[in-house]
Chains A and B, each alone.
Chain A
């Protein structure tokens, strides 16, 4: 009996040590992972899940509420082409107000910046325009070009600052700090759904560390079984009491668009 135990001892010891090593292997990275690394991992996963759609088309309505009670509504269509490893190409076509009908804006986002061309039907000419500065308002709305531009993962430094439930959904709270000095923000606080990595809310802090805007994203639907897209984005400016509502509809993915649908001459016939 003793012999048998003695004989089994080495294997029992081996088992324990294997177990310990295994635990160490799996547990160590978790222990060693800093808040920065976790934030980065979460943001990267959210970014990964959002991309890979190749191309997308959608319609959107933008309702601008001014603090003085005035309201303006813009109707637009958009198409997006992913450029793997570099950024994306986006065309926005205006449908209403009717005097802007046929106006089309092409934005080519690179890692390093972006180029823009504008087609004005009255002049029948595609103009290269000074690429809008990031802090500038998009069409008089509370969204700046920085807010609507495709969010490149590499353009921020990340840190996980907590986890909490937001409207009944478990969320990671990640702080992201823009690396570009031209950004209008000192930092942004992003709530990511812990299960689907959908962005639920973003708080924007200006350069003087004041909370300036809050973006709330809702009405998510799953497309092609892979891509979560919202139908409502509400941006509230806390400093001016103005707000802008973006309503999305008729999303379509992998529609077969090519570079030709995003070149300068395509703008003249975008409508």
Chain B
């Protein structure tokens, strides 16, 4: 899979031109994003100001009485002052066939599961796209064959995942709390087959009355690496990502009443249990208030900042935009992470988004393998086509 800007951009241009002329349905979006970091990284090679362009193009074409379809979604970020965030990725590139109660999808796709606001715990099919930031839930397209079986008692999806995609450790968001660089291109695998190990997953989901729930079984390469301390060629200490083979069970559930939405996500794999749950309160239709708790049994070995944290958040919608704020508070050491994002629409084709996060607390108290969450603000102007 392409993972850097060196891949001929011709592919994306072809998708865009094809999308605009072919009989199917094409969309496109462009954006310019500027990120400003409020503190120095401690490393001279990382700038405090970064500007990049984003192109996203989507094309869908259905035929055979809508029972067959191809979907293409290409995402391309181009760094203007450095190429650390430059990458091209196909979030979707697949063919789908629909029968009365079966569906088959083959190709590259993106799948998202989960119910809580503050984290993704049960989600596991796709690798995270770290170049897109820590607070965004961007993911790399995953090669897959998915068979879905739709019945009265729910939907069962069986995934075969023939190729594993490594996390890309580059730029600010690859920095870990321990301050040791991650040598992303020297990853080691728990399986002798490396990234070619055939992973599989089964997902059952159902809705009964006010309850929506699901169970996930997974056997394969852990998308979330551990870090092993090593020395690089210059005898400097580095972290090498290690992708273990794991078996894991995940669950998600939501109980929806007219004003209160109770949510729970759990995930258990060898040596780790992660739980997130809480409630969303909707006093009026345009406002949601969230209170959640996140737990990771790895404690100080966790690769997340949220190993024992409360989350308080709110989301607001109005005619021309929406905004959200959130605060993560570590139960044990009181460290806080404050996030905010607001988007305003201008006309039918433009939006402007202002986002940022601030970290406050004692850095030595956080898990050393957790991301650093450097303080930042970003401004994104989007134009849709």
Contact = CB atoms under 8 A, between A and B. Distances in A.
Interface of A: 64, 72-73, 96-99, 101-102, 115, 123-125, 127-133, 136-137, 140, 260, 263-265, 269, 271
A206 B150 CA distance: 44
A130 B27 contact: no
B319 interface: yes
Contacts of A123: 112, 137
Nearest to B383: A98
Contacts of B113: 125
B284 interface: yes
Interface of B: 25, 27, 60, 69, 96, 100-101, 110-115, 137, 148, 150, 155, 207, 210, 212, 254, 256-261, 280, 282, 284-285, 318-320, 343, 345, 347-349, 351, 382, 384-385
Given A137-B285, A265-B150, A124 B111 contact: yes
Contacts of A96: 348
A96 B27 CA distance: 12
Give the one of A98, A101, A115, A123 with max B CB within 10 A: A98
28 contacts: A64-B319, A98-B27, A98-B349, A98-B384, A98-B385, A99-B343, A99-B351, A99-B382, A99-B384, A101-B384, A123-B112, A124-B110, A124-B112, A125-B113, A125-B114, A128-B207, A129-B282, A130-B259, A130-B260, A130-B261, A131-B258, A133-B285, A136-B285, A137-B285, A265-B148, A265-B150, A269-B96, A271-B25
A41 B348 CA distance: 45
Contact of B258 (A72, A133, A260): A133
A128 B212 contact: yes
Contacts of B343: 99
B285 A132 contact: yes
A140 to B, nearest CB: 4
A128 B69 contact: no
B348 A98 contact: yes
B120 to A, nearest CB: 9
Contacts of A263: 150
A197 to B, nearest CB: 33
Nearest to B100: A260
Nearest to B62: A269
A99 B139 CA distance: 20
Across the A-B interface, give the 10 residue pairs with the lowest CB-CB distance, nearest first.
A98-B384, A140-B319, A136-B285, A130-B282, A124-B112, A125-B112, A97-B348, A128-B212, A99-B351, A128-B256
Contacts of A132: 285
Contact of B150 (A136, A140, A260): A260
Give the one of B69, B348, B385 with max A CB within 10 A: B348
Given A64-B319, A123-B137, A130 B257 contact: yes
Contacts of A97: 345, 347-349, 384
B142 to A, nearest CB: 12
A128 B349 contact: no
B284 A136 contact: yes
Contacts of B319: 64, 72, 140
A125 B347 CA distance: 26
A260 B151 CA distance: 10
Nearest to B209: A115
A260 to B, nearest CB: 7
B329 to A, nearest CB: 24
A14 B351 CA distance: 85
A249 B310 CA distance: 49
B256 A130 contact: yes
